[in-house]
Structure 1
Amino acid sequence: MAWGIDPRPLRIPAFRRLWLSSAGTAFGASFTAVGIPLQIYELTGSSAYVGLSALAALGPLTVAALWGGALADAVDRRRLLLVTGGAMAAVGAALWLTAGADSLASLFVLLGLLQGCYGANHTARGSTVPRLVPGPLLPAANALDSTVRWLGPVLGPLLAGALLSVASVTALYAVNTLILTWY
């Protein structure tokens, strides 16, 4: 019995690009998941508004994830990933550029847009892996993919908290934007 994850699928360039962009998306999403509620609390001093931000994120995320699966079946998945990834980078840039503004409404709108794009992107990613990797390597590819998808939301907030100890929420948005535009 072997221990560890089989890295052979990473030798396939298309899967390697998808895997690296999944890591960037997972970490970037975690940075904004820490930054937006913190910024909302700093603006309002209200935990209730922070809770409302979760509702503002849930609707677009759910709808986009459901429709993103159908859309991924109807259009070119690569193009869908590029469009939704680019849109997430654009929203990240808008958050970065407006981080000093006192507009709660714009934060809620940007949060909804970001979560909508993330929902469609995340769904398309999951359905893309089997198309990139031959059958015998699919279990290893799924293990690699799920590892990065689940470690990002665990390690991302940890890194965001460490960054917040020396920088502001603006830095979180900047790092998120740079990560999303890197791939």
Structure 2
Amino acid sequence: MHDAAKGAFGRMSGKPGKAIPGAVIAVQSALTREFEGLIDTADVTHPDPGERRRKFLSRALAALVARDRAACDTADAAELVIDGRDDFGIDAIAVAAGEPRLWLIQSKWSDRGEAGLNSGEALKTLEGLRLIDQHEFDRFNERLQVLAERIRAVLSDANRRITLSVVLMGSQQPSQEVRRKFDDAVKSFNE
């Protein structure tokens, strides 16, 4: 099975024969096992099945983190995925049960374990954070609209905490420029 999975991933990455890291194969298998049939991908119209699969895996990665943060079951975590048009760089939103806490999750998948986040993507995610902080939910897609009341309840609490989680299928740290953008946002939002 390992060799079959490696071959399939080689084709998906567009580089036949290139070895795929074992950790990527293990994570892909776990995400598929947990979220196949639960993650909504009806909006993904790319003609390449590999691209559609990568979109599923990126969303499933966000759902996995949301499940952990919100302490919910897998089906509920899949419902926390808002990735798609008008997501403002936020792929999932986890809402804590019983405390005023949100996690805004941005995820990136790479079949080769080389996912990264560039400066433009970081700025888009920070714009999403700003819009949520200002209660501008109508700017987001329908997937966020379903969560709007739960988000609003958290934001109305003076003790609220919002955490931005960037999840990358890779081992590279974000660049200094990207880290600086996030650090600046932390200072600005924490004033």
TM-score normalised by length of structure 1: 0.26
Q: Please state which structure has a larger fraction of its residues in strand.
A: 2
TM-score normalised by length of structure 2: 0.26
Q: Which one scores higher on RCO, CA 8 angstroms, separation ≥ 6?
A: 1
